[in-house]
Amino acid sequence: MIDYLKEENLSNLQNCTSLKDTTGKLDYRLTNDCMFHVVFQKSQKALIGLCASLLHIHPEKIRAVEVLNPIEFGEHPQDKEFVLDLKVLLNNDRILNFEVQVSNEKYWPERSLSYACRTFDQLLRGQPYTAVKPVYHIGFLDYDLEYLSPEFYATFQLLNVKNHELYSDKFVLSVVNLNQIELATEEDRKYGIDHWARLFKADTWEAIKQMAQENEYVSDAAETLLQSNQDIKIRSYCEAVEEARRLRRGLELALEKAQAEIRDKNDELQAQAEEIARLKALLAKTEQKQED
């Protein structure tokens, strides 16, 4: 299905030679799985800035960064490994796994644990356990996790349930709630995590240009975001991601409707069964009176 509004936007974008000349709405934001992956794969500077912010370290502390699962555009756009995560080796001593989720597909704890555990299981045959690199799984979610108190940037580790002693610092799960930026703490703001979150949420080039002026790493991400929105092939992959999401959501709604109808039918059958039981009891009581 052709989105003619996006096609018109593409024509306007391709006439822009730099970010400062660009105006209007974004077609594909960083909340698009594919666009997120592309931007931070293409811009090493932006990736360093994002990693440093989330890990609360200075960017100069990052000596090397490598994307372990780069996108190959010969792959099919619907390949879920192609779009779901971005795996990064940082300073050759830790692995970061990023995921973006804008719709509540439920089971986030199980999903994030599965990805983190797969990444943690990294040893080759014969390697000692001391060679295991720390793993950080970081999710950017645009919805609230119902079982947790509202929080902007939450981090979880393995702790003793009695005295809260840390079991291991090599397994870390974090969530950036893009829906709760106003809850950013002073420390979150100190490292600019809220700034990155606003870049994810931005839907106009005017807002992005404003943020780009305040942070050189965000600026690089913004320039790369513009270049990627101008690329026809990248746009086709991003659109495939959005179309798959729409189809999945449609199926989820249909399933929810069917389940609701089944529940209603079961309630109706239960009510009918209870009424039948009541009438049988009444009939038995009447017959007993007649016999007496």
pLDDT tens digits, 134-175: 999 999 999 999 888 999 999 999 999 999 999 999 999 999
Distance between CA atoms of 254 and 247, rounded to whole angstroms?
11
What's at 24, amino acid-wise?
G
Q: What is the pLDDT, as a whole number, of residue 61?
A: 95
47-77: burial string, b at 16+ Cβ within 10 Å, e else: bbbbbbbbbeeeeeebeebebeeebeeeeeb
* CB within 8 Å of 5: residues ≥ 6 apart: none
Q: What is the pLDDT, as a whole number, of residue 107?
A: 87
What's at 121, amino acid-wise?
D
Q: Are strands 135-141 and 153-159 parallel, antiparallel or unpaired?
A: unpaired
219-274 confidence digits (pLDDT tens): 999 999 999 999 988 998 898 888 877 776 677 677 778 888 888 888 888 989 88
- Give the domain ranges of the chain: 4-248
Question: Vertex 251, ends 257 and 103: CA angle to 5°?
Answer: 100
Q: In this structure, are residues 141 and 176 in contact, taking their beta carbons and an 8 Å threshold? A: yes
- The number of residues making up the chain comes to 292
Q: In this structure, are residues 43 and 94 in contact, taking their beta carbons and an 8 Å threshold? A: no
* CB within 8 Å of 150: residues ≥ 6 apart: 144, 177, 180, 183
The pTM of the full predicted model, rounded to 2 decimals, is 0.80
Among 7-21, 91-105, 212-226, 253-267, the minimum mean pLDDT is found in 7-21
172-192 confidence digits (pLDDT tens): 999 999 999 999 999 999 999
Q: In this structure, are residues 59 and 48 in contact, taking their beta carbons and an 8 Å threshold? A: yes
Among the listed residues 54, 178, 171, 60, the one whose alpha carbon sits nearest the alpha carbon of residue 112: 171
Q: What is the pLDDT, as a whole number, of residue 81?
A: 46
Confidence tier at 206 by pLDDT (50, 70, 90):
very high
